[in-house]
Amino acid sequence: MKEEAPAPFVKFASGENIPLELHKVRVVQKLNLVPIERRLEAIKEAGFNTFRLSTRDVYLDMLTDSGTNAMSDNQVAAMNAADDAYAGSQSFDRFKDAVLEVFGKKYVLPAHQGRACENILAKAFVKEDSIVPMNYHFTTTHAHITLNGGRIIEILYDDATQISSTKPFKGNIDINKLEKVVAEYGADRIPFIRMEASTNLIGGQPFSIANMREVRKVADKNGLIIVLDASLIGENAYFIKKREEEFKNASIATILQTMCGLADIVYFSARKVSSSRGGGIATNNEELLKKMKHLIPVYEGFFTYGGISVREIEAMAVGLRETLDDTVISQSPSFIEYLVENLTKKGIPAVTPPGGLGCHVDAMGILPHVPQTQYPAGALAAAFYLVSGVRGMERGTVSSVRDENGNDVLADVELLRLAVPRRVFTLSQIKYVEDRLTWLYQNRDLIGGLKFVNEPPILRFFDGSLGPVSDWPEKLVAKFRADFGDSL
């Protein structure tokens, strides 16, 4: 009989289910919680863009899980065994073996992170007038495809962007829409079908293996290849195990091998999937490999280090194998579920069912008085930082683009993303997030909109500067002081 992994939730005597940490903390990093007056100065200096904040002014950094997951003791130890040869490093051999074991792909091209993989893929396969169907885009994916002359088409089911839902796999591709796209544009204009595990911008929502099998049928019928973005594949596998009946008793290893076996190319950001740095593109198809391999020395580095420190390559290898451990990949989703369920009990709208990566709070649901052209998700992110010192991230129209007429392409959803990196935060810190978000929700009418002051031409959410449309930040600070006194 297969031994079951420990459940991430434990029932306490009080009757409450609590996500239990199945690790212990052995190295700590000091945090600071600066007064709200300093936080007001800091967010103004940052142009009301949380990306531009310094961590000296941040208490909990929930901006992203990219490169912020806690590394394991085994990963740190492996870094000391690195073979730092420029070419032919044994560290790369160990990384290659891990990719084969976890993803079932025998060829791998290293790259310094996920968007570097996207650059290689776009340059190798995307050309002028290419159409790339996908379940949903990611910001850097969209940029690379567009810069190479292509266009994306998102083909989720119509209800996938509903905030409150019981649909277990909102990241599924709508097969009818996919078939229509192929029929309308022709297979010759489609370099690949992209599936993202899990869909970052709509709340870390997974797809099912049943859906991926249907996508595979359409691809085979039309001579197309499937590219799998596996940056959050561990979380996608966790949700498949919890939500897809066929795989409820399957190991994470089996689920990962099944998913990756349905894809022709798998690429990933190790900053997400293996709690380290770097990334890679993997395949079993030698012809596809040849189309990409010559680009690695041009943009990344030699074939056995790809612009990454070999110490990181060693950590990647260990981290990939740790993705097979239920207790590793379940910790972040269980904390997210705990936070989302506690928020929704209080009437605070958040994306359900809870997904991977983070808790995604519905900014339009909280701020219906702020029009999308005044960036409600950006305003909520700034306001939440003000009242808590917690740095979240806007995932809405600020993260979108402008059309050919200079108008904002309004996002399908406006979300405040509160990322929960693996094994980083304690439950008391999660409860602090819940408390401050509850207070902000009760005072939501004080929050106003934002406008761009300085707007970069591409990926504007990284470095753009915004400003408030009124004096609402000062009013929010005054209310906080009235309610909390001298408390930080």
Which residues, in sequence order, are CB contacts of 69 under 8 Å at separation 6+?
A: 271, 272, 275, 421, 422, 423, 424
Catalytic (active site) residue 157: no
Q: Report which of 421, 477, 435, 447 is spatially closest to residue 348, judged by C-alpha positions.
A: 435
Report which residue type is found at 349. Answer: P
Sign, Cα dihedral of 282, 307, 424, 38: negative
How far apart (Å, rounded) are the C-alpha atoms in residues 343 and 363?
13
Rounded (to 5) percent helix, strand, coil in the chain: 45, 15, 40
Which residues, in sequence order, are CB contacts of 125 under 8 Å at separation 6+?
A: 191, 192, 291
Q: Among 241, 311, 395, 423, which one carries the catalytic annotation?
A: 395
Cβ atoms within 10 Å of 487's Cβ, excluding its own: 10
Catalytic (active site) residue 229: yes
278: left (phi over 0), alpha (psi -120 to 50) or beta: left
Catalytic (active site) residue 395: yes
Q: Among 57, 61, 65, 229, which one carries the catalytic annotation?
A: 229
Q: Among 103, 441, 461, 480, which one carries the catalytic annotation?
A: 461
**Distance from the first to the final alpha carbon of the chain:** 52
Catalytic (active site) residue 139: yes
Q: Among 12, 86, 462, 484, which one carries the catalytic annotation?
A: 86
Q: Among 50, 64, 139, 304, which one carries the catalytic annotation?
A: 139
Number of helical (H) and strand (E) elements in the chain, helices listed first: 20, 16
Q: Among 115, 272, 277, 321, which one carries the catalytic annotation?
A: 272
Complete DSSP assignment for 112-140: SSHHHHHHHHHHHH--TT-EEEES---HH
- β-bridge partners, 465: 454
Catalytic (active site) residue 461: yes
Q: Report which of 31, 32, 57, 39 is spatially closest to residue 481, judged by C-alpha positions.
A: 39
How far apart (Å, rounded) are the C-alpha atoms in residues 207 and 169?
5
- On whether the CB atoms of residues 486 and 52 are closer than 8 A, the answer is no
Catalytic (active site) residue 471: no
Q: Among 107, 138, 239, 441, which one carries the catalytic annotation?
A: 138
- β-bridge partners, 365: none
Tell me which residues are annotated as active site.
86, 138-139, 229, 272, 395, 461
